[in-house]
Amino acid sequence: MRSAIPLAAAAAGLFALAGAAGAQPAPTEIPVSRWGAEDEIGAANHLSPAKVLEAMRLVTTGKTYALGIPVDRGTPAFPPRSIAVTVMAPNQPEGVTFGSNKMSYLDDMVTGWLGVGTQIDGLAHLGTDSTFYNRNRMKDIFDTTGVKKLGVHKIPPIVTRGVLLDVAKAKGKERLVEGDLVTVDDIKAAETAAGVSPGKGDVVVLHTGWLSMLGEDAKRFGAGEPGIDAEGARYLASKEVVAVGADTWGIEAVPFRGDRVWEGHQILLAHNGIYILETLDTRGLIRDGVREFLFVLGAPRYTGSIQAIVNPVAIR
């Protein structure tokens, strides 16, 4: 399928780097969650009715923004991921109908992976040395029919304050390019320019402009991306946000610098229980100059899934 092609070159390089990284010193040991050894929802513990009421005060016009992109068989996805929708008219050959009222219907079937397009990474998605959030070992939670702990179905509704940081503008560009590093200083500059800063229980979204590349050159879009590194992840984690998102397919700068791969994912997911939102469509918010908004997401409740295709909504 076309969807697996754009990221193939990047994947080959990343997997090669992963092998080299095995000789590196192990990252700091994954801690026991501040919310207890049995906790499975991580930073979602920061959410509360009070946080919802606070975020609702940001709504002044009622305008809504779909942050998810349409997903189809051609959507670039990290290999071997792909997805396809198949539409059927079950048991209705030659225009067969049902009942005296001649009822007809269509059904659809989805085959593929849940990490395609706009997605949320759950806490069982990525860890360190086969250990995930709250020291859950792969051997204890892994099952081909769904993880036994940390499944996406455990994520509560995320209704909170959203903060959009235009890191492309902070770097003096309309669109960053593959490999461009978004540093801590860049994030701080974007906060200053916007006059806002993410805080406890917020969702922070980084705008790099990279999503616009998808419509111009899907292969290039999927072969690399601008984004943060480990230091950027640590800085955002220090804000105690519930999720970090971006208009890129992996939030981190690719190609990586050196041989440490997806370390930002490790810091956010495994060490801090902070969810990751990828391929967010931030263009409407940027056009309208929106910097704070009500963020709403109800993740699909596929039992035992580790990722999910989502369509978060921003309301201003």
Domain edges within the chain: 2-92+103-315
Q: Is the pLDDT of residue 251 over 60?
A: yes
Q: Is the pLDDT of residue 140 over 60?
A: yes
* Of the listed ranges 5-9, 72-76, 201-205, the one predicted with least confidence: 5-9
* Of the listed ranges 21-25, 49-53, 94-98, the one predicted with least confidence: 21-25
- The rounded percent of the chain whose pLDDT value lies above 90 is 89
What is the mean pLDDT of the segment spanning 111-129?
97
Residue with tokens 């955002």: 236
What are 81's two structure tokens?
């991921």
| pLDDT number for residue 265 | 98
Gap between the Cα atoms of 146 and 313, Å rounded: 27
| pLDDT number for residue 21 | 40
Q: Is the pLDDT of residue 22 over 90?
A: no
Gap between the Cα atoms of 58 and 285, Å rounded: 14
Q: Is the pLDDT of residue 52 over 80?
A: yes
What is the mean pLDDT of the segment spanning 141-145?
96
What is the mean pLDDT of the segment spanning 90-101?
95
Gap between the Cα atoms of 221 and 241, Å rounded: 27
* Contact call for residues 209 and 175 (beta carbons, < 8 A): yes
What is the mean pLDDT of the segment spanning 192-202?
97
What is the SS3 string spanning the chain?
Answer: CHHHCCCHHHHHHHHHHHHHHCCCCCCCCCCCCCCCCCCCCHHHHHCCHHHHHHHHCCCCCCCEEECCCCCCCCCCCCCCCCEEEEEECCCCHHHCCECCCCECCCEEEEEECCCCCCEEECCCCCCECCEEHHHEEHHHHCCCCCCCCCCHHHCCCEEEEEEEEEHHHHCCCCCCCCCCECCHHHHHHHHHHHCCCCCCCCEEEEECCHHHHHHCCHHHHHHCECEECHHHHHHHHHCCCCEEEECCCCCECECCCCCCCCHHHHHHHHHHCCEEEECCCCHHHHHCCCCEEEEEECCCCCCCCCEEECCCEEEC
Q: Label residue 1 by pLDDT band (50, 70, 90).
A: very low
Identify the bridge partners of residue 112 per DSSP, sorted by sequence position: 83
Whole-number average pLDDT of the chain = 92
- The rounded percent of the chain whose pLDDT value lies above 70 is 91
What is the mean pLDDT of the segment spanning 275-300?
98
Backbone angles phi, psi at 180, to 5 degrees: -60, 125
| pLDDT number for residue 32 | 97
What are 313's two structure tokens?
């909504």
What is the mean pLDDT of the segment spanning 198-210?
98
Gap between the Cα atoms of 150 and 218, Å rounded: 32
Identify the bridge partners of residue 314 per DSSP, sorted by sequence position: 65, 295
| pLDDT number for residue 28 | 63
| pLDDT number for residue 196 | 96
Q: Label residue 95 by pLDDT band (50, 70, 90).
A: confident
Q: Is the pLDDT of residue 5 over 60?
A: no
CATH no. for 2-92+103-315: 3.50.30.50
User: Structure pTM?
Assistant: 0.91
| Angle in degrees, 0-180, between the axes of helices 184-194 and 230-238, rounded to the nearest 10 | 40
Gap between the Cα atoms of 139 and 202, Å rounded: 32
| pLDDT number for residue 8 | 42
* Of the listed ranges 7-21, 89-103, 162-176, the one predicted with least confidence: 7-21
| pLDDT number for residue 100 | 97
- What lies within 8 Å, CB to CB, of 87 at 6+ separation is 106, 107, 108
What is the mean pLDDT of the segment spanning 132-161?
97
Give the pLDDT confidence of 97-109 residue by residue, as tens digits.
999 999 999 999 9
